[in-house]
Amino acid sequence: MALISSKEMFAKALNDDYAIGAFNVNNMEIVQGIVDAAAAENAPLILQVSAGARKYARPAYLIKLVEAAIEDTGADICLHLDHGADFEICKACVDNGFTSVMIDGSQYPFEENVALTKRVVEYAHDHGVVVEAELGKLAGVEDDVSVDERSAKFTDPEEAAEFVRLTGVDSLAIAIGTSHGAYKFKGEPYLDIERLKVIHGLIPNTPLVLHGASSVLKEFVDMCNEYGGSVPGAQGVPEEMIKEAVKHGVCKVNIDTDLRLAMTAEIRKFFIENPSEFDPRKYLGPGRDAITRMVRHKIKDVLNCSNRK
């Protein structure tokens, strides 16, 4: 049992129309909650670490936590850098034992994104590590932005094919309407599935990645609001839309917000119902259990990757 690459995971997922959940980790309870869920479902798993997570938990702790999870459960796990901003952070993660890194050059012009991605691909591949890159911009909910303006930021299919050819990248994050966080849509949720189909048709062997794929589950939003929180109007990507995307080349589905909401909802409930408790294990435990329940649901009912190990 070991830290493994996503290469084989993606090849199988592409072939059989399912996706791997890539869940963001920031502390021990989050790692345990997710890994227990994947182990119970016998599912392949990607744990991902953002720059913010590295800053919060410190790199050495996160790596050791993931190694401990492997030892504890006997799971194989892909450890991935989420949204690497430059060559240096990607190199640091490759050198520290990550099995996958993302270089996010999506804010740069095409040629610059290509050059940066190529540099990371060369270094990572020399060390047996796979690379995800991003093309197109994930739009957030912004005032005064029309549908046309929003979709102008979506991934251009021809550019995507050219980008993969020029960089040799292993997987590609695309923009088709998702965004990070708990406020993804103001009106009706919309993903450009037709665009996704064209991209997948042009690069059928490239695993596609959907960032901003949390569904902002009503159960947890309601619970947060009921127990003293304030997340009014939160809205995610309906799970039916994620399922549709998975049928057209999306092999990696990134989820962080749903973890945050599940854990926070349960802890809020505990605090309101048990005002005199102050043992962190008493509330972090239910928070961890909520993550396990939520991740099992994603793996089984949305990503279709139970028993795919």
Active site residue 82: yes
When asked if residue 134 is in the footprint of ligand 13P (CB under 6 A), the reply is no
CB of 56 to ligand G3H, least distance (A): 8
Residues 6+ positions from 286 with CB-CB distance below 8 Å = 266, 267, 269, 270
Stretch that binds ligand G3H, among 46-54, 66-74, 125-133, 271-279 (CB under 6 A): 46-54
> What does each C-alpha distance from 259 to 4, 10, 96, 119 come to in angstroms?
23, 23, 25, 33
- Which of residues 36, 82, 132, 156 is near ligand 13P by CB under 6 A? 82
Query: Going by DSSP bridges, is the β-strand pair 130-135/100-103 parallel, antiparallel, or unpaired?
Result: parallel
CB of 179 to ligand 13P, least distance (A): 7
- Which of residues 59, 140, 181, 285 is near ligand 13P by CB under 6 A? 181
| Cβ-contact 121, 169 below 8 angstroms | yes
Pick one of ligand 13P, ligand G3H, Zn ion, none as the site partner of residue 155 (Cβ within 5 to 8 A by kind).
Answer: none
Closer CB to ligand G3H, 41 or 82, in the complex = 82
Site for ligand G3H in 55-114 (CB under 6 A): 82-83
When asked if residue 180 is in the footprint of ligand 13P (CB under 6 A), the reply is yes
Closer CB to ligand 13P, 69 or 242, in the complex = 242
When asked if residue 117 is in the footprint of ligand G3H (CB under 6 A), the reply is no
Stretch that binds ligand G3H, among 47-55, 112-120, 186-194, 201-209 (CB under 6 A): 47-55
Site for ligand 13P in 238-257 (CB under 6 A): 254-257
When asked if residue 26 is in the footprint of ligand 13P (CB under 6 A), the reply is no
- Which of residues 3, 5, 17, 50 is near ligand G3H by CB under 6 A? 50
Closer CB to Zn ion, 129 or 213, in the complex = 213
What would the x/- binding string for ligand 13P be over residues 212 to 241, using CB under 6 A? xxx---------------------------
Least Cα distance to 254 among 235, 267, 236 occurs for 236
Q: Check 36, 76, 82, 156 and give the catalytic one.
A: 82
Least Cα distance to 153 among 195, 197, 101 occurs for 195
Residues that bind ligand 13P (CB under 6 A): 24, 82-83, 180-181, 211-214, 254-258
Residues that bind ligand G3H (CB under 6 A): 24, 50, 52-53, 82-83, 180, 256
Q: What residues act catalytically? A: 82
